[in-house]
Amino acid sequence: MKCWLVLLGMALSLPLYAVSPTAAPTAAAAAAQLYGQYCQSCHGADRLGGMGPALLPESLERLKSAEISNTISQGRSATQMAGFAGQLTDEQISQLTAYVQSAPATPPRWSDADMRASHRQPVALSSLPARPQYTANPLNLFVVVEAGDHHVTVLDGDRFRPITRFASHYAVHGGPKFSPDGRFVYFSSRDGWVTQYDLYSLQVVADIRVGLNTRNIAVSDDGNLILAGNTLPQTLVLLDAHGLAPVKTIAVRDAAGHPSRVSAVYEAEPRHSFVVALKDVPELWEISYDRHAAPVYAGLVHDYKMGEALAQPGFLTPRVTPLSMVLDDFYFDPSYQHVLGASRSGQAQVISLDARSKVADLPLDGMPHLGSGISFERDGHRIMATPNLKGGQLSFVDMDSWQLIRQVQLPGPGFFLRSHENTPYAWADSMMSAHKDTLSIIDKRSLSVVRQLVLRPGKTTAHVEFTRDGRYALVSVMENPGELIVVDAQTLREVAALPMAKPIGKYNVFNKINRSEGTSH
Ligand code: DHE
């Protein structure tokens, strides 16, 4: 009996095929056969994805075994994924779950040739209309990522009405990024797809798979280049922002040749460079796309010779800042001279990108979530505020002295923090706690919580983005079905609610392209 329980535990808990030399190959072979019969036609023989997403451990690491089994058994609503409960036994579903969570026998590869073969441009950029094909203000649009059924809604930010809704790739993660004029929006999916979407004609204009597992993307301030950071393979990929043709692939390794996954890429606008955070080696990279350093790359659409530009010393070549530890969550000061970085263990530092070294330690405990930080002026000082994933406090740091000036306790840990130049309040969630339905409204003058807002009792409520004038706050009820709730930012009264499928994030064109101090960039 005990032995049977152990075996069952192994089958349910996962990638344990290698544990028993005799039983393992049989279980693995049975699971592989089931995969070939039921999954391969949509998810690919190599598990790299097809009509359905990739089924690799890297793609699925955020899902619990029970969630994967449930998807195999019940399918996913509003997608092509059917439920197999009627065709597979519970044991077979457990075997398949274990199979897709374990590494394939042949390590997955994604070459430049694979990337080039995936590139498509369904619409020629030259054929696009000169003006938006609708009456809404194109600078007050919101792009809403709906994770519940992998769709994106484009919303009129004046009337709070959807203009269109389209299917995205599986698991778009992180903020979509905009071209400097706000016309194009670029998405990256966890499965490695980068998509260029035209917000004037409301259609996808280009698509490319840059890797098998991607962290995020950044757009250069001249609008000409996209940088994508991958964890599988361990590469950075530079793309032409006008149609997504590949420009350059950079293998991510330290000087000793140790490879590293990319943690995130950022655009440092005043420096005309990208900053790259690495997950596995204690280094921070900066990649310059400065035109003066490379005059050949004039920044004109389709009018530069990239081959010659790449030969310029320093152009699109990483410069390394060595770190004392791996830092992988960052916030930048407005000049982008200083980077505030936190390690997984919660240690935080200030790095000078000019000096290429640490200039201060940051007195933050727990696990500060610097990536969700915001900044604002108070009594002649620039203050940075960051939530904390462990303790659930909000920390306020003076960016002149790098001293902690106040800590405020929220009902529980949350993920996001938002504000706008035109409101005295910042909004924080507690989505990772029992108080997941509670938003805390913080007065940026007194640095204290002045109100708690529960819009839908019991429902996960998080991620706020303001209209371009800061008058309304758009809040996600991150459930499926969920809602996007519009709240008057002054009276805190609800003025509209739109049904949405787990609207995980929303992004206002004007606030993003103008780098509003209260939102992410
Ligand atoms: Fe995110 C942004 C990393 C889990 C929703 N998340 C980001 C960014 C990074 C990051 C580096 C900035 C990218 C950008 O915008 O360019 N996220 C991580 C993680 O390391 C972590 C903890 C684990 C992981 O699996 O990657 C993680 N993130 C999550 C979630 O579980 C969330 C809540 C749901 C989901 O979709 O996976 C989530 N992350 C988001 C959102 C943003 C984001 C909505 C964009 C925030 C913004 O407003 O800009």
What pLDDT, in 10s, does the model give residues 453-494? 999 999 999 999 999 999 999 999 999 999 999 999 999 999
Look at residue 275 and tell me if it is in a domain. no
CB 150 within 8 A of CB 172: yes
SS (HEC) of 129-187: CCCCCCCCCHHHEEEEEECCCCEEEEEECCCCEEEEEEECCCCECCCCEECCCCCEEEE
pLDDT at 435 (0 to 100): 98
- Whole-structure pTM value: 0.89
344 lines ligand 1 (CB under 6 A): no
**Rounded-to-integer distance, Cα 128 and Cα 33, Å:** 47
Is 512 within a domain? no
Q: Which atom of ligand 1 is nearest to the CA of 505?
A: 44
What CATH number does residue 34 fall under? 1.10.760.10
47 sits in the region (left: phi over 0; alpha: psi -120 to 50; else beta) called: left
Asked whether residue 207 is assigned to any structural domain, the reply reads: no
Q: What pLDDT sits at residue 311?
A: 56
User: Looking at ligand 1, which residue's alpha carbon is closest to its atom 7?
Assistant: 174
Q: How far is the CA of 284 from the centre of ligand 1 (A)?
A: 20
Are the C-beta atoms of residues 279 and 328 closer than 8 Å to each other?
yes
DSSP strand E in 402-458: where? Answer: 403-409, 417-418, 425-429, 438-443, 448-454
Atom in ligand 1 nearest the alpha carbon of residue 520: 49
Instruction: Tell me if 279 CB under 6 Å of ligand 1.
Output: no
Identify whether 89 is part of a domain: yes
Domain annotation covers residue 440: no
Q: Tell me the C-alpha distance between 374 and 46, whole Å.
A: 42
**Domain presence at residue 320:** no
Ranges of residues in the chain whose predicted pLDDT is under 70: 1-25, 78, 291-313
Asked whether 174 lines ligand 1 (CB < 6 A), one says: yes
What's the pLDDT score for residue 106? 85
Contacts of 12 (CB under 8 A, 6+ apart): 65, 94, 97, 98
The sign one gets for the Cα dihedral 513, 518, 519, 521 is positive
The neighbouring-strand residues paired with 404 are 397
Could you tell me if residue 245 is inside a domain? no
Domain carrying residue 81:
27-101
Q: What is the Cα–Cα distance from 404 to 407, expressed in whole angstroms?
A: 8
Distance 174 CA to ligand 1 centre (A): 5
Measured from the CB, is residue 228 less than 6 Å from ligand 1? Answer: no
Q: Is the CB of 505 under 6 A from ligand 1?
A: yes
At 371, list the tokens.
């990536």
In this prediction, residue 5 carries a pLDDT of 31
**Structurally, how many domains does the chain consist of?**
1
Burial of 291 (0-12, 13-18, 19+ CB in 10 A): middle
CB atoms within 10 A of CB 518: 24
**Is 68 part of any domain?**
yes
Smallest CA separation from ligand 1 atom 49, residue: 175
In angstroms, the CA 237 to CA 257 distance is 18
Q: 124: helix, coil or strand?
A: coil
